Structure 1
Amino acid sequence: MRRMSVVQGMSGSRFVAFAQQKGLCMTAAGAVVDGNVEGGKGALKDVRKRDVDGRVRSFEEIPHTGRNGWINLVKFWRENRFQQLHKHMEQTFNALGPIYRETVGTLSSVNILLPSDISELFKSEGLHPRRMTLQPWATHREIRNHRKGLFLKNGEEWRSDRLQLNKEVMLSEAMKRFLPLLDDVAKDFCRMLQGKVERDGRGKESKSTLTFDPSPDLFRFALEASCHVIYGERIGLFSSSPSLESQKFIWAVERMLTTTPPLLYIPPRLLVQVGASLWTQHATAWDHIFSHAEARIQKAYQRLTSSQGRGSVTKGQYNGVLGQLMEKGQLSLDLIKANITELMAGGVDTTAVPLQFALFELGRNPEVQDMVRQQVRTSWAQAGGDPRKALQGAPLLKATVKEVLRYKFSIFSCVS
C-alpha cells in the first residue's frame, strides 16, 4: 500500500512527499465537515465518527475515487486539478471521509486527513519506514550518474545517512549554531516587508496597511535561509539587485517543484524516450541545482583544506551544515552532495508552506498574535539581542520554529 502527502507550494508549484507507510493532508485549524471548515475537537470527532464501527478494515474497503487510473488522469488534466489539488482533496474528503484511496495514472495513493490517524501510522513504521520512490528524481539521478540522497533511499542505508544528518540539523546544539544565520535572513525579510508597506501601503504612516500575496516572498525567504544554514553563505535574494546566478537558481528550484507533480503519474523513462518537454524542463532544472550545489561544495572544500593546511580551524566560525559534514568526514563527498542538494531543494517548499500556515493562523487569531508579539518583545529585551537566548524566553515562538524545522526535515521520513 502506498501513501501520498501533497502540500500546496509557492508560486503556483506544489511539493509532493511520498511514503509507503504514511500520508498527510491538512486543513487550517480544524477539519472539513460537510463542505465547511470547522474548528475545534468536536469537528474532528464528527469526521472520525463517519463510517467508523471500531473494526479493522481491509485495504479494499477503503473508499476510492475510481479504479481506472488513466481515466482519473484525464480528469486531472481536463479539470486542472494539478494546480488546485488541495481543493480536489478537500472535496474528496468531504465526500468519502477522512481516509480515501486514489489511482491517477501509474500512481496509487492513500490520503489521510486526521492527525490522530497519521499518528497511528507513524507509530507502526518501525526503524526503517518505507517510502515510495519519487521516480522523476530517481530517474534523473540514474541518467546523470548521481548518488541518491535520503529522499530516494529506504532501509538501513536510509537510516545510516539520516542519523548522520540529524546531528547537524535536528539536535539542540546544532540548532543553536545556525539560529543566528536564520536571524540574519529574517531581519532582511522583515526590512523588505516594512519597505513594501511604507511604499505601497494605505492609511496613515504609523498605521499603514497592505494586502498582498506573501507566497513568492516566503519562497525566497525559505531559499535564502536554507542556503545560509546549509552552505554558510548568503545568495543575495533580498539585495536590491540579485545576481543573475541567484535568479537562475530561483528559476531552477521553482521549475523543479512545478514539474514534479505531473511527472509522478506517467513513467519518466517513457517521457525521456520521446523527448517530452516536461521531462526536459525537469532535468534541466535539476542539472542547474546540482551545479549550484557543486560550486558551493568546492568552495567549502577549499576553505576546509586551507584551514587544515594552517593547522587550525577558525574558532567559533560556523560554516553551515555542509562545512560540518565535510569537517567530520563520516560521509563521502558524493553522499554529502546528494543529501545536501536534496535537503536544500526539497526543504524550501516545506519551510515556506508551514510559515504560510502559521501566518494564516496568527492572522485569524489576533489574541495569539498579541501573545507571541509580547513574548518576542520581552525575551528580546532580556536577551540583549541574542536570538538564541531570545528564543528560549519565547515558548510560543520557540514551538513554532521547532515545528517548522521538524516538518522541513521530516519530509525525508520520520525517525523512530
Structure 2
Amino acid sequence: MSSFRRMLQQALRVSGLSGFPLLRWVGRWAEGTVVAPDGTTVRSMDDMPGTSMPGFAWDLLVRRALSKLHQLQLEGVQRYGPMWKVSFGPIKTVHVAHPALVEQVLRQEGQRPMRSELSSWKDYRKLRGQHYGLLTSEGEEWQEVRSLLAKHMLRPKAVEAYDQTLNGVVSDLIAKLRLCRQPEGLVTDIAREFYYFGLEGISSVLFESRIGCLEPVVPKKTEHFIESINTMFVQTLLTMAIPRWIHSLFPKNWNAFCQSWDSMFEFAKSHIDQHLKEAERKSKCQEVKGHYLAYFLSQTDLPMKTIYSNITELLLAGVDTISCTMSWSLYELSRHPEVQASLRDEVLSVMEGRKVPQAADVARMRLLKAVVKEVLRLYPVIPANARVITERDIQVGGYLIPKNTLITLCHFATSRDPAVFPNPNDFLPHRWLTKDQTHHPYASVPFGVGKRSCIGRRIAELELYLALARILIEFDVRPDPEGVSVKPMTRTLLVPENVINLQFVER
C-alpha cells in the first residue's frame, strides 16, 4: 500500500495535475490510511482537510457569509476537494460536494433518515408546546405522517386530481399580472407576486378553498403570513449559528424568530378550524367528498396539534419553492428568447388551440420539464441538505464517518460541477434532452432523494408546469429594460439577491 501511495504521489507531481481539486484530494488520500472495524482501509476524520473554528467564525462574522453559504460550497471544493470538515466548537460537520459521494451518504441513511437538527425550529416548538411536523419530526412520528400524506401527494393519479383546482389559481395569476403591469408591460418584483401565487396554490390543495392572495387587495392576515415566512427564514440561520445561552443575553433575533412562528401557526390554525367546521356542517346533510389534505388528516387519529404543525410546515414549504422557481424560470427565459420561443411552440403544439392545459398535456411537454430541471440545477431552492446517520458508522469517500456526525450535502456545488455539467453556469435546458449526454443521478437533486425527499414535489411541479405554460400562451416575457443582472443569495433557502422586474407583453 505504501509503495502504491508513493507511485500515485509521484504521478501527480510529474503530470502537473496536482493543482486540480479532485486530484489534490486523491493525493491527500494517498498519504496515509487506517483500518476500519470491518477490515477495509479508510481514513479517519482527523485526516480530513477543512476549516477550524477561527476560520468558520471569520467567514460568519467578518465576511458576513450567511448570505453566501452557497458560494462557500464552491470555495470549499477549490480549497479541499470533494470532502472537507468544518469545526465550530464541539460540533464537526462533514461537507460532501461530489455526486458519487452524495450517493454514498444517501444509500446508507437507513429506514428512517434523519435530517439536520433544525435546532431553533425544535426549540420554538418545545417553548410553545407545539408538535413537530414533517420538516421537524424524526423516526416513527415522521414515518407515520409521511405514509399518510404520500397517498395524496406522491401518487401521480392522486396529484392529477388537483389540476382543475390549480388551473383556477393560475387563471387568477394571469389576471393579477395584467392588473399590476406598468407601462410597456413591466411588472416589478415578480417574486412577490409569485409568493402570493404559491400561497394561494398550496392553500387550495390543503383547504380546497381560496384565501384571497390574488385579489386586487390582499387580506392583511395573508400579507402578515408572508412577511412572517421571510422573517423566519432570515432568523433561522442566525438562531442556529448562535449558542442557545446567548438568546437570553441578546434576545432580539430569537424573539423575532418566535413571533414569526407564532404568526404562521395562528394563520394555519384559523384556516384549518374554519374549514373543518364547514366540513362538519356539510356532513350533517351530505357526505363530504373533498380530497383536501387538512380534512383528510382530521379523519385520522393524529392529535390536532400534530395536524396544525404539519399544515403550517406544508404552507411555508410550498410558498418559497413556487415563488423562487417561477421567478428564476421567467428570468432565464426572458434572457434567452430563442429558448422561450421553442418552449412556446411546444406548448401550442400540444394544446392544439386549447387555452388551459391539463396534467395529461404536461406529460407531453419535454422541453417544459427540461427548463424547470435546468432552473432547479442552477438555483436549487435548498442549496444544501443534511443527514445524521444514527445507526452506525459509515464509509464515505475513503473516510470513516462516526455515527451521529452531521453531514452536509452540498447540492449547489454538485449541480455546478463542470465535470458533470459542461458550462455549468449557463442556462442550457437542452442538456436534459440529449440522449447521448447523461448526468450522474445525484448531481442535481433539488427535491431530495429517497424516503426523505420533498413530499410536495409532484404538486409543486404540476403547479409550475401549468403556470409557465399559461403565461407563455398569454405573454411574451422580456427582461428588465434596465438590464439588471440578478444573482442568488442564501436565506436558509436560495433566493434572488435583488428584485426581479420583467415585461409581460400581450401576445
Give your verdict on TM over 0.5: yes
**Match in the other structure for 1:413:** 452
Q: Report the Cα distance in structure 1 between the residues aligned to 2:340 and 2:110, rounded to whole angstroms.
A: 38
259, 265, 269: which is aligned to 1:290?
265
1:243 Cα deviation from its structure 2 partner: 1.4
- Give matches, 1:353-372, under 5 Å: 353-359=324-330, 362=333, 366-372=337-343
1:61 Cα deviation from its structure 2 partner: 3.5
**Match in the other structure for 2:285:** 310
**Match in the other structure for 2:316:** 345
- Give matches, 1:97-108, under 5 Å: 97-104=81-88, 108=92
Normalised by the length of structure 2, the TM-score is 0.61
Structure number with the bigger relative contact order (C-alpha 8 A, sep ≥ 6) is 2
Show CA shifts across 1:294-338 (max 9, x none).
111111221221232124125xx44x32123224x2533222211
58, 63, 84: which is aligned to 2:68?
84
Q: 1:248 to 1:122 in 2, by over 3 A?
A: same
1:134 Cα deviation from its structure 2 partner: 0.7
Q: 1:173 to 1:188 in 2, by over 3 A?
A: same
- Give matches, 1:9-408, under 5 Å: 48-49=22-23, 51-52=25-26, 57-66=43-52, 68=53, 72-73=56-57, 75-104=59-88, 108-196=92-180, 198-201=181-184, 214-268=190-244, 270-274=245-249, 276-313=251-288, 317-318=290-291, 320-327=292-299, 329-359=300-330, 362=333, 366-381=337-352, 385-397=356-368, 407=446
Aligned partner letter, 1:199: Q
Q: Report the Cα distance in structure 2 between the residues aligned to 1:215 and 1:101, rounded to whole angstroms.
A: 35
Stretch deviating more after TM superposition (157-166 or 56-65) = 56-65
Runs of 5+ consecutive residues of structure 2 not aligned to the other structure: 1-19, 31-41, 382-444, 456-507
- Whether the 8 Å contact between 2:192 and 2:323 is mirrored in structure 1 is no
Q: Report the Cα distance in structure 1 between the residues aligned to 2:330 and 2:93, rounded to whole angstroms.
A: 30
Q: Report the Cα distance in structure 2 between the residues aligned to 1:264 and 1:336, rounded to whole angstroms.
A: 25
1:247 Cα deviation from its structure 2 partner: 1.4
Describe the SS at the equivalent of 1:102.
strand
Q: Report the Cα distance in structure 1 between the residues aligned to 2:316 and 2:241, rounded to whole angstroms.
A: 21
Describe the SS at the equivalent of 1:52.
helix
Stretch deviating more after TM superposition (137-146 or 116-125) = 116-125
Q: Report the Cα distance in structure 2 between the residues aligned to 1:298 and 1:176, rounded to whole angstroms.
A: 27
Q: 1:266 to 1:107 in 2, by over 3 A?
A: farther
Show CA shifts across 1:350-390 (max 9, x none).
34334445445545655543343222222333767352232
Task: Count matched residues.
Answer: 356
Normalised by the length of structure 1, the TM-score is 0.73
Q: Report the Cα distance in structure 2 between the residues aligned to 1:60 and 1:356, rounded to whole angstroms.
A: 43
Show CA shifts across 1:172-196 (max 9, x none).
1221122333323333334444555
Aligned partner letter, 1:303: E
- Whether the 8 Å contact between 1:106 and 1:265 is mirrored in structure 2 is no
Q: Report the Cα distance in structure 2 between the residues aligned to 1:168 and 1:63, rounded to whole angstroms.
A: 45
Runs of 5+ consecutive residues of structure 1 not aligned to the other structure: 1-45, 202-207
Describe the SS at the equivalent of 2:182.
helix
Name the larger-Rg structure: 2
Aligned partner letter, 1:64: G
Aligned partner letter, 2:137: K
Q: Report the Cα distance in structure 2 between the residues aligned to 1:355 and 1:117, rounded to whole angstroms.
A: 30
RMSD between aligned alpha carbons?
Answer: 3.4
Q: Report the Cα distance in structure 2 between the residues aligned to 1:211 and 1:125, rounded to whole angstroms.
A: 45
Q: How many percent identity over aligned positions?
A: 24
Q: 1:81 to 1:239 in 2, by over 3 A?
A: same
> If each structure's helix is expressed as a fraction of its own residues, which one has the higher value?
1
- Whether the 8 Å contact between 2:212 and 2:219 is mirrored in structure 1 is yes
- Whether the 8 Å contact between 1:226 and 1:344 is mirrored in structure 2 is yes
1:273 Cα deviation from its structure 2 partner: 3.1
Q: Report the Cα distance in structure 2 between the residues aligned to 1:249 and 1:89, rounded to whole angstroms.
A: 31
Describe the SS at the equivalent of 2:316.
helix
Q: Report the Cα distance in structure 2 between the residues aligned to 1:281 and 1:300, rounded to whole angstroms.
A: 29
- Whether the 8 Å contact between 1:168 and 1:324 is mirrored in structure 2 is no
Q: Report the Cα distance in structure 2 between the residues aligned to 1:388 and 1:364, rounded to whole angstroms.
A: 27
- Whether the 8 Å contact between 2:177 and 2:187 is mirrored in structure 1 is no
Stretch deviating more after TM superposition (243-252 or 57-66) = 57-66
